[in-house]
Amino acid sequence: MWYLKTDYMVNGDNDGKFRDIMQYSNNLKWTDDIDTLAVSLEFDSLLDLAEGRSHIMLKKDSSLVFYGVITKKTNKDKQSSYTAQDYAFYLNKNEDIVQFNNADAKTAIYQLLGKYYISGAVLPLATKITKFYKGKTISDIIKDIVSQCSSEIGEDVFMEMRGIVLWVDKVSNLKLDCKYILGNDFSVDRSMEEMYNAVTVSSNSESEAAILAHVEDNDNIKTFGRMTKVLSVDSQNESQARNTAQNYLNAYDATKRELTFNVVDVYGCENLRANRKLNVQIPKYGVSGYYKVKSAEHTLADNIHKISVTIDFSNASFNDPTQSS
């Protein structure tokens, strides 16, 4: 059973208690992707709710699927349309100026969350953070800290809001246990447009144009043709430059492959979110195993829960390891 609850209605009996409004609401849709921290929930309702004051819960039985606040409303004659965002909205909205001086990543994240009254559940992260951030959103600062941790431990670390708590965990800890009916209207996209199979690193000095390092994938070049990236760096020795080149090659030396498909929820798919790992079996296209979810769009109508999912099954990240926010 699905429930949509709110604690505030315009001209309602507002005593702070959450009341179910599902019978007055329809066209529910919520979206989540790896590039946007906050989950967004859209729905229509016969009731008059208020931005900033109406907090929204979406639950399946006793499981909390969404918890946030209405950030946008459109009043109409018969019913109104609403957009709610989870509490990561405030991490996306607030900018700050902060200096970390050799703080461990876990402590740095808790310092930021405490300042904005957001609770945290952060796995131990010993990566030392020494960096000055100015005019960056809190979510971007935490994202940069998390990316530094991922680089150091060699494993994806992610963050997501669960209720009023920001969780920071390893992607490998989140294999989904869900069952679904796979639709036959899936699509597979393959592209070599972002590929680089050769990387050259040179000095950024105007007085010295020396090549410090060069790496390439000969097998890939024979198959796809040569595609070279030139990186200019400051004050790196040959060993550091070679490491930079190899890291960049590792990130881009593949075709980009994405699979988009539709499913009908049988069991547990309310927990299907970006960054979590989903078991997908379409052997015809080389898809067989657990893959990180890139985006998920959920719809709920007539008590039928459907999800449009995109996974990335590339053998490369296509994230520039030389850039930081």
Please tell me the distance from the alpha carbon of residue 12 to that of residue 235, in angstroms, as a whole number.
Answer: 65
Report the candidate in 173, 84, 79 with the shortest Cα–Cα distance to residue 121.
173
On whether the 91-171 domain is CATH 3.55.50.30, my answer is yes
Q: What is the pTM of this model?
A: 0.84
Based on C-alpha coordinates, what's the Rg of the chain?
23
CATH code, residues 179-190+256-312: 2.40.30.150
Given a cut of 80, whether residue 205 has pLDDT beyond it is no
Residue 135, phi then psi, degrees to nearest 5: 65, 25
pLDDT band with cut points at 50, 70 and 90 for residue 225: very high
pLDDT tens-place string over residues 37-46: 899 999 999 9
Please tell me the distance from the alpha carbon of residue 167 to that of residue 107, in angstroms, as a whole number.
Answer: 14
pLDDT score recorded for residue 151: 67
Please tell me the distance from the alpha carbon of residue 160 to that of residue 271, in angstroms, as a whole number.
Answer: 12
pLDDT tens-place string over residues 32-65: 998 888 999 999 999 999 999 999 999 999 999 9
Q: Which helix (H) or strand (E) holds 279?
A: strand 277-282
Please tell me the distance from the alpha carbon of residue 167 to that of residue 37, in angstroms, as a whole number.
Answer: 11
pLDDT score recorded for residue 325: 45
Mean per-residue pLDDT for 8-28?
91
Contact at 8 Å (CB) between 309 and 180?
Answer: no
Q: Which helix (H) or strand (E) holds 289?
A: strand 287-301
Report the candidate in 251, 225, 254 with the shortest Cα–Cα distance to residue 322.
251
